[in-house]
Amino acid sequence: MSTGRFVAVDLGATSGRVMLADVGPGTLEMRQMNRFANDPVYLWNGRRTAMHWDLPGLFGNICTGLAEASRVAPDVTSVGVDSWAVDYGLLRDGKLLGLPYNYRDARCALGADAVHETLPQERIHARNGLQFMAFNTMFQLAADKLEGLLDLADTALLVPDLIGYWLTGRTATERTNASTTGLLGVDGTWDTELESILGLPGGLFPELAEPGAELGTVLPDLAGRVGFGTGLRVTTVASHDTASAVVAIPMDAASAAYVSCGTWALVGVELGAPVMSADARTANFTNEVGADGRIRFLRNVMGLWLLSESVRHWERDGSRVDLPVLLEQAAACPPPADVFDGDDPRFVEPGDIPGRITAWYDERGLPAPASRPEMARAIIESLAAGFARGVEQSAALTGVPVETVHLVGGGAKNRLLCQLVANRVDKPVVAGPVEATAIGNVLLQARAHGLLHGDLDDLRGTMATTLPTERFEPRRAPAGRV
C-alpha cells in the first residue's frame, strides 16, 4: 500500500478541526471533515467568574468529524490528536473533576507568584529551560494547590492526552507537550525534585509517550457510534500543535527561522540541543521538545488573537465584520507612526482590545488609530515587528545564519502580514502551509505506520513539492519604530 488514510484532530485556542488525509511518498491530500469554534466558558465558582474550556463540547465536535470521516473513508488507519499547550484536566478514578481552566484565567498570576516565593525564575529556567509565561502548567498547578483542587485529583492529563483517554480509555503524556509544563527537566525526565520543592503531588501526569507511539484503539462503543468498526487506532503525534506544525515546515533548519502563527505566534529555530544561557533566559526564549528529539528554541509572542479579539469586540453590537474587506482596507492605510508592544500584559485577557491599544498610544502621547482599518493596520504592523524581533534574537542567541523565514499557520493567509515580516527582517518569507499543524500530525502518523520513512529532514524533503507555499521578497525599509 503506497498511501494510507489518517485523521488529524487539531485543536487550537480559538477553533478546532478534524481533517482527513491521504498520505504517501510525495502524496498529500487534506479534506476538512468538521471545523468548529472553541470559545471559553465563564462559570461562577462561588468567589468569582472563572474561564474554562468546554472539553466535553469539543469532544462532541471531534466525534462529529470522525463520523463524517467514517462516511467518506471507512478505511482510516489511525487518528492523531494535537492541541494548544499548557492546559489540562484533573481526574479522579478516571472521571474529569470539572471543566479545565483556560490559560487566560486570572488565577495564573497567583500561581506564578506562589511558585516564585519558593523558587526564583532563574533557578526554574536552569531546570527546565523554559521562558516565563504565567500560564505555564506548573504555575496553574500551584493555583490548583491554593484552591485545594490537587487534594481531590489523582491524575492530570494535558488536553490532547485527555482527548486520547476519552477515545481509548488509556492514559499517557506525550513528550512534546509535556515539555511545555515546566515539570520536565532538560534531561527529558519528570523533575520529581521540582515537584517536591513546590509542594506538588508526584505522579499526577502519566508516563511519557513519544510521537509515533500507539496509544490504543478507539473504544468499541464509541467506534460504533461514529461509524468505524473495531480496530481504529489512536497514534500519539507531536501533540503540542506547534511541534506538529514545525514537522510540516519545508525548511532547511540549518539556515531558517520559523513563525508558527495562530492565536499565538511562536518564533524561533530548530536545534539539536537546548540553549541554556543567561542571555536566552533574559530574552525570554524557551527550549521546547520537538519531534525526533529536536529542540524548538523559540519565543512565544502575541499572534492573531489581537485581531480576532478586536473583531469579536466590534461585533458585540450585532454587526458583522468582513475580515477580508477589513484586511484590504488595512493594506491601503498608511503604516502607523509607531508600532505598539503586542506582548504588553494588558492584551492577554479577552475584552476591548481596540480600547487597550488606544490607551497604549495615549499613555505615550502618540497618535492612536482612528478607524477600524487603521487599527487593523497597527495590529498587523506591530505583530510583524514582534516576529522580526524574535527572528533576529533567535539568530543572535544561537548563531543560526537565518537566510529564510517560514511563516505557517493561519497567519500565512494574511498576505499583508507576510510582506511586512519580509520587509522588517529584510529576508524572504515563505508562507505556508496554512494547515501545517494538521499536516505535521498526519505525517507523523504515516511514518509510524510505515508509509513514510526517515527523520524530519527526510519527511520534509519527501513532502516539499506537495506543500502549498508562497514566497514574499522584502520590498522596502520598515516604517514605524518599536
**Residue 75 known to be catalytic:** no
Mean pLDDT in consecutive groups of 10 residues from the start of the chain, 482 residues: 92 96 93 97 96 98 98 97 98 98 96 97 96 96 97 98 99 98 96 95 96 98 94 98 96 97 96 97 97 97 95 93 96 94 92 97 96 98 98 98 97 96 98 96 97 94 86 74 38
What number of CA atoms fall less than 13 Å from residue 469's CA on the CB side?
A: 20
Q: Identify the pLDDT of residue 467.
A: 83
Q: Give the chain's domains with CATH numbers.
A: 45-58+71-239 (3.30.420.40), 248-432+467-482 (3.30.420.40)
Q: Residue 272: what are its φ and ψ, rounded to 5°?
A: -95, -15
**CA-CA distance, 121 to 139, in Å (whole number)?**
12
Q: Identify the pLDDT of residue 462.
A: 82
Task: Tell me which of 105, 144, 161, 241 is the catalytic residue.
Answer: 241
Decide: 214 and 234 in contact? Cβ < 8 Å. Answer: yes
Decide: 291 and 211 in contact? Cβ < 8 Å. Answer: yes
Q: Identify the pLDDT of residue 1.
A: 56
Q: Are strands 233-235 and 40-44 parallel, antiparallel or unpaired?
A: unpaired
Q: Report residue 195 as a C-alpha cell.
A: 515537584
- From the list 166, 111, 100, 161, the residue with the least C-alpha distance to 136 is 111
Residues 6+ apart with CB under 8 A from 43: 49, 50, 52, 99
**CA-CA distance, 393 to 395, in Å (whole number)?**
5
Q: Residue 437: what are its φ and ψ, rounded to 5°?
A: -65, -50
Decide: 267 and 390 in contact? Cβ < 8 Å. Answer: yes
Q: Identify the pLDDT of residue 479.
A: 47
- Write the burial class of residue 272 (CB in 10 Å: 0-12 exposed, 13-18 middle, 19+ buried): exposed
Q: Report residue 37 as a C-alpha cell.
A: 469554534
Residues 6+ apart with CB under 8 A from 94: 155
What's the pTM value of the predicted model, to 2 decimals?
A: 0.94
Q: Identify the pLDDT of residue 277.
A: 97
**CA-CA distance, 6 to 440, in Å (whole number)?**
12
**CA-CA distance, 322 to 306, in Å (whole number)?**
16
Nearest-5° Cα angle at 266, 265 to 268: 140
Decide: 236 and 164 in contact? Cβ < 8 Å. Answer: yes
Q: Identify the pLDDT of residue 230.
A: 87
